[in-house]
């Protein structure tokens, strides 16, 4: 399912051109410190690493898949960071969800909220009681900060694979056309406070870059369905889940390798052939990742061993 989201500034939208808004913020950054004030800023801690985004085609549909490498501070969606500036209540920022945008090239990450070049196509978040997440922005017209609604929680449970049938500007995908996307991860903390506006919240903490890198835009060309030979991974599942003795694969066609990793990425099972059943009775209780390989294609399933 594709979700859409609108980022809402809690007053009239900006009317100044983007370059004037940026210039005004630079000026305010230079002036406000003389009055003991700060301009809106993110927490002074590492942001969650953005996920790796892969694009493939299934017929005339695009399949977007998210994953996190072992080097990611959000491997297995485990990002947590203590914010020393939060002195009241829980100071821990925790991973909350992913946002995927379709973008038009050339693209700069500062244009992420410009609907002319960037439109949100996917929001997926943890199923919990976190709902609306706000930040604060300096408003040029009012001469003060205003709250900004960044995310309205869907709380439908986290997903890492999505199927799209059209582009956000022109409808159904067109053969030979290039489509580009960027994915971000975000964390939440209900007690976050804007450093510029102590009376306003800062509850949304996005991460745009891969581990140690820069924001990565993934582009793909719409292909003829007859020329694409990717597996329909929806036909491949692992059960029972949770498991305590043996797991069974619902489909092994074209699989050439099966790997099981523990929570820190260590390989605990590595089969260079397709196996219908795998003994997991010797594994300790916990969460594992089951990698199903078929040539250059790969799908990862979560497995709970109890």
CA 205 from chain center: how many Å? 12
Classify domain 231-305 at the CATH class level: mainly beta
Peptide bond into 106 cis (omega under 30): yes
> Residue 4: which H helix or E strand, with range?
none
Measured distance CA(289)–CA(303) in Å, rounded: 6
Residue 136 CB-half CA count within 13 A: 20
Q: What is the mean pLDDT of residues 109-133?
A: 93
Mean pLDDT of the chain: 82
Counting residues of the chain whose pLDDT is more than 90, the rounded percentage is: 43
- Stated pTM of the model: 0.68
The residue with tokens 């997903």 is 159
| Residue pointed to by tokens 């998210």 | 66
Sequence ranges of the chain with CATH classification 2.60.40.3080: 231-305
Assign residue 173 a region (left: φ > 0; alpha: ψ between -120 and 50; beta: otherwise): beta
Q: What is the pLDDT, as a whole number, of residue 212?
A: 76
**Which of 1-15, 57-71, 240-254 has the weakest average pLDDT?**
1-15
> For the chain, how big is the Rg over CA atoms in Å?
22
Q: Which two tokens stand for residue 15?
A: 């009317």
Q: Is residue 23 pLDDT above 70, yes or no? A: no
Q: Band the pLDDT of 143: cuts 50, 70, 90.
A: confident
DSSP structure string for 143-155? TEEEEEEEEE---
d(CA 32, CA 39): 7
Indicate the range of 28-42, 138-152, 162-176, 205-219 predicted with least confidence: 28-42
Residues 303, 249: Cα–Cα separation, whole Å: 12
Average pLDDT over residues 4-31: 42
């Amino acid at each position: 399912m594709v979700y859409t989201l609108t980022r809402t500034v809690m007053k009239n939208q900006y009317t100044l051109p983007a370059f004037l808004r940026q210039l005004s913020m630079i000026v305010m950054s230079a002036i406000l410190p003389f009055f003991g004030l700060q301009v809106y800023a993110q927490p002074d801690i590492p942001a969650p690493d953005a996920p790796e985004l892969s694009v493939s085609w299934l017929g005339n549909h695009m399949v977007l898949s998210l994953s996190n490498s072992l080097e990611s501070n959000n491997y297995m969606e485990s990002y947590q960071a203590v914010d020393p500036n939060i002195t009241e209540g829980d100071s821990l920022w925790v991973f909350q969800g992913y946002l995927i945008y379709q973008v038009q090239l050339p693209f700069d990450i500062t244009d992420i909220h410009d609907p002319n070049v960037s439109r949100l196509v996917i929001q997926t978040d943890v199923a919990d009681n976190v709902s609306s997440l706000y930040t604060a922005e300096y408003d040029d017209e009012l001469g003060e900060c205003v709250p900004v609604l960044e995310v309205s929680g869907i709380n439908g449970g986290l997903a890492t694979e999505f199927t799209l049938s059209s582009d956000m500007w022109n409808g159904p995908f067109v053969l030979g056309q290039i489509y580009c996307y960027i994915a971000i991860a975000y964390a939440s903390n209900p007690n976050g406070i804007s450093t510029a506006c102590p009376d306003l919240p800062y509850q949304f903490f996005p991460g745009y870059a891969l581990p140690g890198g820069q924001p990565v835009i993934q582009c793909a060309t719409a292909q003829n369905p007859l020329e694409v030979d990717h597996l329909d991974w929806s036909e491949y599942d692992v059960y029972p889940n949770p498991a305590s003795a043996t797991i069974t694969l619902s489909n092994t066609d074209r699989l050439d390798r099966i790997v099981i990793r523990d929570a820190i990425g260590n390989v605990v099972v590595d089969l260079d052939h397709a196996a219908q059943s795998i003994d997991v009775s010797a594994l300790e209780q916990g969460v594992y990742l089951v990698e199903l390989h078929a040539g250059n294609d790969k799908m990862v399933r979560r497995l709970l061993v109890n």
